[in-house]
Amino acid sequence: MIITVAHSKGGVGKSLLAWHIAIGMKIPIVDLDFQKTLVYTNNLRKINGHKELKIIQPETPELFIELMDSWDEDKNIIIDVGGFDSNLNRAALYISDLIITPAVDRVTEMAGLHKFHNIILELSEKMDTKITANVLLNDVSPSAKDFSIIEEMVESLEYFELMESKISHRADFYKTMEEGKGVTELKDGKARKEIKKLIKEIKKRDQ
């Protein structure tokens, strides 16, 4: 299963999600984000005495396509794309079995989501197939209950679906990354439970 965490906007938590999902599922990461956040975090992981994740950095679009063409369908992998639109990022969207689009529940973020939906729409029409992005409410307030604005927007857009899972703003997500760890490596905690629930939902999509 090829899982891609994607949005055409930066700062929505793509790399953070890719990191915690990869550790929780024990799968490699393809890093297409030029900021290389995950490479840096993986170095911290090594320094702190933890087993490194396998992070693959294709140097060219051709090498990326070659890698994914030869990828065993029975093996899971996660792709972290940069917060911009490019042919390479669109290629990642096209070959994905599951696209996860983190979205912050703020009115100011709606324009970015619409822009990304237009990218998915254009790619679907060009490739003559329906590509769906699964919107994940991310970095939301733990006390928030009403997500009607974003729920109504997602429901109105043909190439979006809303995921059941929600990821809250919790210190454990950031603290563990600073140590090169994942929240699923903690013994307990609400952040751990949320990622576990998200991974369970991801695995259901693969059945």
**pLDDT per position as a tens digit, 35-45:** 788 999 999 99
**pLDDT per position as a tens digit, 27-68:** 999 998 877 889 999 999 999 999 999 999 888 888 999 999
Q: Whole-model pTM?
A: 0.94
Q: If you write DSSP's letter for every residue of 94-151 in order, what string do you get?
A: HH-SEEEEEE-S-GGGHHHHHHHHHHHHHHHHHHTS---EEEEEEEE-TT----HHHH
Query: What domains lie within the chain, and their CATH numbers?
Result: 2-205 (3.40.50.300)
**pLDDT per position as a tens digit, 83-114:** 888 888 999 999 999 999 999 877 778 888 99
**pLDDT per position as a tens digit, 116-138:** 999 999 999 999 999 999 999 99
CB-based burial label for 184 (10 Å; 0-12, 13-18, 19+): buried
Place of tokens 């949320």: 194
Are 101 and 26 in contact, with CB atoms under 8 Å apart? Answer: no
Read off the tokens for 109. Answer: 């973020």
